[in-house]
Amino acid sequence: MAYIDLRDGIPEKGEASLWGFGPKPHDFEELLTALDKLENDKDSPGVLVRFGTVSFGIARAEELAEALGRVRAKKPVICHADALSNVTLYAAARGCTSIMMPVSGEVNSVGIAAQMVYLRKLLADELHLDIDFLQVGKFKGAEEPLTRDGPSPEARDSLETTLADMRESWLGSIRVARKPGADAAAEDGPFIAQAAKEKGLIDELGYFDDARDAAKKAAGAARVVPKFGMAVDPSDDDLGDMVRTLAGEDATAPIVIVRGIGEIGSPGSGSGTFGGVAGITEKEMSRTLVKLENDDDVKAVVLRIDSPGGSALTSDLLWHRLMRIRAKKTLVVSVGEMAASGGYYLASTGQTIFADNTSIVGSIGVVGGKIAVANALEQIGVHAETFAAKRGDPKAAARAAYESLLMKWDDDTRARVFEEMTSIYNLFLARVAEGRGLPVDKIAASAEGRIFTGREGKARGLVDEIGGLDAAIAKARVLAKLPPDAKAQVFEGRPKFLELLGAPEGAKTMLRGPTALDIVREASPELYADLAPFVGSLTPIAHGDHVLAALPFSIVIR
């Protein structure tokens, strides 16, 4: 029988080796492919899934549950977990024939909530920073953690409505999959393993060895064969990968999956990271899209997007590139955890947009501003002076130094920035309307920064279909008039050997000292995972962007 080991997690994109060859990293697309093959694999009469204590995003949990559910309909799927969170319970409840946990395990199923930290008092009253942010769209609220001591009514309504819809999908799944009353218990944890069994959240108590024996018995199998995760041996094709890398060549499948993961960085920012936060760069993604646009062997592109947004300019540049592809071949979008703000800007290019019920979409709006430190420096005896070349004009210094952290905005500059933001907001609406083939007023009704679950997004016309990456690939085959078994592959963008020898752009980041986020990552990987999307979506400000299409917070469901 097949063994699926999830203890290392299922990231959207695994960390590849520096040289681009060697064992391929385990990622979400690889897991879905493995489960798709297992569904009709007669040599695998059952599946054993080991969760360990891992957790991942709720939208990925929903897709995993769907994939496991299809396997479960044809053969037993026996699951073992040392601990379950909100989201791993979601996946296990729907996808597993039976769930086993050691008596020392726990089910941390406690319901869904969001927390936000408001820093205005610290930044303004204590540190004397001048915080100057503007927004277009009354629900956008990206600056609220910096400018308020609590949420605005609009921001509260947007977030609570989305969380409520996410909760209904989560509980509804548990309600259908588990015995009566389990959905009520799901919000009442944490539970020790015995209590969780009594509540119907798990089925059996036992260690992984017990689960393996039970799985072999249920499937009538003599042995367990690893199919995904850390137990899988390196691919026998590593040498072939090396040769293709040295030659700079890869065989092209008719369907290519392009990942758009992380914050959207500023054009010309060089690296795909800032402060250790990986993201989407205009240079790298454009290079990928141009190659696919001109490759006649590629008949369809599936954009897998998981992004809180970032640079409004980069979002528009990549929107244009994606629309060029759409004009020549099939383009389908699959939303992972979120396609928010700039992320949705990119997603709107899809001929068909797929999202999970629990994905986050929308946040159509812009925000911009800066934090000026001059007043704070004055408090410690440091004075900053701006000298304008245009003598005699009191506004010249404020305008010439409007991007500087050493001078706050005057009213005229603030008005000019807001005018630019309004223009970009209107462009954002127009781009989404064009991509979706809908009137601008239809999009505007769901804009102004509001966020939605995938299910609500479908009702509003922001999403076409509820489904995951598998469903998006299947749709791409249909739209491109390809056979049902047409191959799909992830575009890895491996560099040629000579490029590797020539120190790729961004290699200088290897020499930098540790940033605050690097320190957080080492001390608490879980906290880092929470902070990175939010911090990353705002980092274009450090590269000179003053107008962003970014989600104002990070939603993490465990």
**Tokens coding 539:** 């980092």
Q: Are 316 and 302 in contact (CB under 8 A)?
A: no
Considering the candidates 341, 348, 359, 363, report the single residue annotated as catalytic.
341
Rounded Cα distance between 388 and 331, Å, is 50
Q: Which residue has the tokens 């991942």?
A: 56
Rounded Cα distance between 373 and 395, Å, is 19
Rounded Cα distance between 176 and 172, Å, is 6
Q: Is 390 an annotated catalytic residue?
A: no
Considering the candidates 217, 395, 487, 508, report the single residue annotated as catalytic.
395
> Before 190, cis peptide (omega within 30)?
yes
Residues 6 or more apart whose CB falls under 8 angstroms from that of 106 comprise 83, 84, 190, 191, 192, 193, 196
**Tokens coding 494:** 């491996």
Range 121-129 contact pairs with CB under 8 angstroms and sequence separation of 24 or more: 121/149, 123/371, 127/376, 128/375, 128/376, 128/378, 128/379, 129/371, 129/372, 129/373, 129/375, 129/376
Q: Are 94 and 177 in contact (CB under 8 A)?
A: yes
Residues 6 or more apart whose CB falls under 8 angstroms from that of 186 comprise 86, 89, 109, 111, 170, 171, 174, 201
Which helix (H) or strand (E) is 369 found in, with range? strand 366-372
Residues 6 or more apart whose CB falls under 8 angstroms from that of 236 comprise none
Give the distance from CA 507 to its chain's centroid. Answer: 25
Give the distance from CA 262 to its chain's centroid. Answer: 6
Q: Is 286 an annotated catalytic residue?
A: no
Q: What is the DSSP string of 35-46?
A: HHHHHT-TT---
Give catalytic residues, as residue numbers. 341, 395
